[in-house]
């Protein structure tokens, strides 16, 4: 029997199978990027290194962890290769972030190496403010128009993206 599956779903299915069979998502930055695109309904172009935004990468890391846990009989969690951490750090740096969104902490040290020394103070302020920020109303939260506010807004956008995708996942699982 042959199924006619939409391209985005084929990409997701392929990404899930790849994570189960050979989790190179954790050690090959090209696979990390392509898998991120597949899991976030973006077009996968294997011949290019994909550009992924912080929310997409945070969601892909979360979903990959779920998929890997479902298929790994040994209950292990692979470590991210330094090349993947560098890819994520450069992507976050290009987005102007000075700290990692939730779920991308494996790239935190690498991101620090990309930042100018004067960003250390801002990074600490952002991390403290983010830790103290209630996460329940981030979607409608207005942030100040200053460096701290801009950082918090970018972290909030990633958080909201992952929360929205998590909600859809929960709804889908509830229907099964």
Residue 46 falls inside a structural domain? yes
CB 37 within 8 A of CB 56: yes
Task: Examine residue 137 and state whether it is found in any structural domain, yes or no.
Answer: yes
Q: Is the pLDDT of residue 118 over 80?
A: yes
Whether 79 is in a domain gets the answer yes
Query: Is 65 part of a structural domain of the chain?
Result: yes
Q: Which long-range contacts (CB under 8 A, 24 or more apart) does 135-143 make?
A: 135/159, 138/163
Q: What pLDDT was estimated at residue 58? A: 97
The predicted model gives 129-151 an average pLDDT of 95
Instruction: Report d(CA 176, CA 160) in Å as an integer.
Output: 25
Average per-residue pLDDT in the chain? 89
- What's the gap between Cα 111 and its chain centre? 14
Judge whether 2 lies within some domain. Answer: no
Bigger pLDDT: 4 or 118? Answer: 118
The residue among 17 and 157 whose pLDDT is bigger is: 157
Q: How many domains does the chain have?
A: 1
1 within domain boundaries: no
Q: Domain span at residue 26?
A: 7-175
Residue 115 inside a domain? The answer is yes
Residue 78 counted as domain residue: yes
| 7 has pLDDT over 70 | no
State the Cα–Cα distance between residues 166 and 161, nearest whole angstrom: 9
- What does pTM read for this prediction? 0.88
Percent of the chain at pLDDT above 90? 61
The answer to which of 36-45, 103-112, 154-163 has the lowest mean pLDDT is: 36-45
Q: What is the reported pLDDT for 69?
A: 73
Joined together, the tokens standing for residue 41 give: 């309904």
Cβ neighbors of 20 (< 8 A, separation 6 or more) are: 67, 68, 70, 71
Q: Looking at the predicted structure, is the pLDDT value of residue 90 above 60?
A: yes
């Amino acid at each position: 029997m042959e199924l006619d599956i939409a391209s985005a779903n084929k990409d997701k299915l392929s990404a899930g199978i790849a994570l189960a069979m050979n989790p190179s998502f954790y050690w090959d930055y090209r696979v990390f990027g392509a898998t991120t695109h597949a899991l976030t309904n973006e077009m996968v172009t294997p011949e290019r290194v994909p550009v992924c935004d912080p929310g997409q990468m945070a969601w892909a890391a979360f979903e990959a962890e779920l998929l890997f846990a479902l298929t790994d009989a040994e209950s292990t969690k692979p470590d991210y290769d330094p090349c993947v951490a560098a890819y994520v750090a450069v992507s976050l740096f290009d987005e102007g972030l000075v700290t990692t969104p939730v779920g991308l902490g494996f790239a935190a040290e690498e991101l620090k190496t990309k930042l100018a020394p004067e960003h250390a103070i801002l990074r600490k302020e952002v991390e403290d403010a983010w830790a103290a920020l209630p996460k329940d109303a981030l979607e409608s939260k207005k942030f100040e128009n200053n460096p701290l506010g801009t950082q918090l807004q970018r972290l909030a956008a990633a958080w909201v993206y992952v929360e929205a995708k998590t909600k859809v996942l929960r709804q889908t699982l509830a229907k099964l």
